[in-house]
Amino acid sequence: MNFDNLPKIELHLHLDCSLSFDVVQKLKPGISRQEYEKEFIAPENCSSLDEYLHCAQAPISIMQTKDQLRMVTLDLFDQLKADNVLYAEIRFAPLQHLEKGLSAPDVVAIVDEAITTGTEDTGIEAGLILCTLRHFSEEQSMETVKLADHFKGTNVVGFDIAADETLPIDNHIKAFEYANKHGIPCTAHAGEARGADSVQEVLQNFYPARIGHGVRSIEDPTLMAHLKEQNIHLEICPTSNVQTGIYTSVRTHHINTIYENGNSLSVNTDGRTISNVSLTEEYEKLNHFFDWNLEHFLRCNIYAIDAAFTTDTIKKKLRKKLLEDFDLYQKED
């Protein structure tokens, strides 16, 4: 089964982890393919989540000017188009891009404008999620969430917390309180480096509508039932979960068990470069290891549309396009 032309929705996608070799060559002239793979792609089996996250430092270093941020964002749209993605939510931490004199509002405005251009050029709808990071201070988290509030009505659609989930959450409670009070949709990384307790922790303190990864929720049947009952969506990234050591291979991943339990979930790349994977390749792996077919992928994409931080008008448009394209694909297959 060929999944290249299958329409796709992607909700968990880090901008700074998705720089193609083509755009890196433009930003770092003279870099070889070997150097690129060493600096920008994480090992297939990292010793820890921290080793995986370390690979984001090289791309962040060349995302510090207006031209750099714009080029990286538009490059990602080219990748999405090649993957036949209809809608994507792109996330990044704007406070990591201030080293060359840009202000945080400048950074968000640049990426926001580039997303508008990308949508106009490709027809791909997209939203922007602003991330705070676990090691940030309370002030940095508040600054980030207030940026999300300030940019309401643009492509900015939500707020997230990322990075090392073994760190405490105390510095970020006020930011999520602010987000919830001001109607900013939230997701939160959890259930990856730590177990089900980390998912429970963010649910009890941040009240997100979605969980980034969340795969280790499967370790607690009561939690799984709660996620299902409350329709809390899991943004699952199979290849990334193998790289960070949660699973030994996609074959041993629990995504199929979570799907069969009836939980809302989507399939995502996490970072297209750092994980060296496209969404098409993620689909191929799930088809190979779990015999997932069009019904599985259609359901996951509908789950994703329902959970997306976008307008009802765009959701209606996406559902119509998704169903039409799936029907056409099925007839041609």
180-199: pLDDT as tens digits: 999 999 999 999 989 999 99
Q: With 90 as the cut, is the pLDDT of residue 51 above it?
A: no
Mean pLDDT, the chain, integer: 96
Number of alpha carbons in the 13 Å side-chain half-sphere of residue 319: 14
Q: With 90 as the cut, is the pLDDT of residue 36 above it?
A: yes
Task: Provide the β-strand partners of residue 133.
Answer: 162
Q: With 80 as the cut, is the pLDDT of residue 142 above it?
A: yes
What spatial distance separates the first Cα and last Cα of the chain, rounded to whole Å?
8
Q: What is the pLDDT of residues 151-170, one digit of tens each?
A: 999 999 999 999 999 999 99
Q: Which of 192, 235, 284, 324 is catalytic?
A: 192
Q: What is the pLDDT of residues 277-297, one digit of tens each?
A: 999 999 999 999 999 999 999
The predicted structure's pLDDT at residue 47 = 62
Q: What is the model's pTM?
A: 0.97
Q: With 90 as the cut, is the pLDDT of residue 50 above it?
A: no
Q: With 70 as the cut, is the pLDDT of residue 327 above it?
A: yes
The predicted structure's pLDDT at residue 329 = 85
Question: Which H or E run contains 137?
Answer: none
Residue 192 catalytic? yes
d(CA 298, CA 304): 10
- Quick count: other Cβ atoms within 10 Å of Cβ 45? 12
234 to each of 59, 144, 309, how far by Cα in Å?
26, 23, 14
Q: What are phi and psi of 268, to 5 degrees?
A: -140, 165
Looking up tokens 């994703």 gives 304
292 to each of 85, 289, 295, 297, how far by Cα in Å?
19, 8, 8, 7
d(CA 299, CA 304): 9
What Rg, from alpha-carbon coordinates, does the chain have? 18
What count of residues does the chain have?
333
- Quick count: other Cβ atoms within 10 Å of Cβ 283? 23
Phi-psi region of 294 (alpha: psi -120 to 50; beta: other; left: phi over 0): alpha
Q: What is the pLDDT of residues 200-232, one digit of tens each?
A: 999 999 999 999 999 999 999 999 999 999 999
| pLDDT-derived band at 49, boundaries 50, 70, 90 | low
Q: What is the pLDDT of residues 243-288, one digit of tens each?
A: 988 999 999 999 999 999 999 999 999 999 999 999 999 999 999 9
In CATH terms, 8-332 corresponds, of 3.10.105.10, 3.20.20.140, 3.30.70.270, 1.10.760.10, to 3.20.20.140
Q: Residue 127: name the closest of 111, 138, 142 by CA.
A: 111
CA triplet 77, 329, 273: central angle to 5 degrees? 30
d(CA 310, CA 160): 15
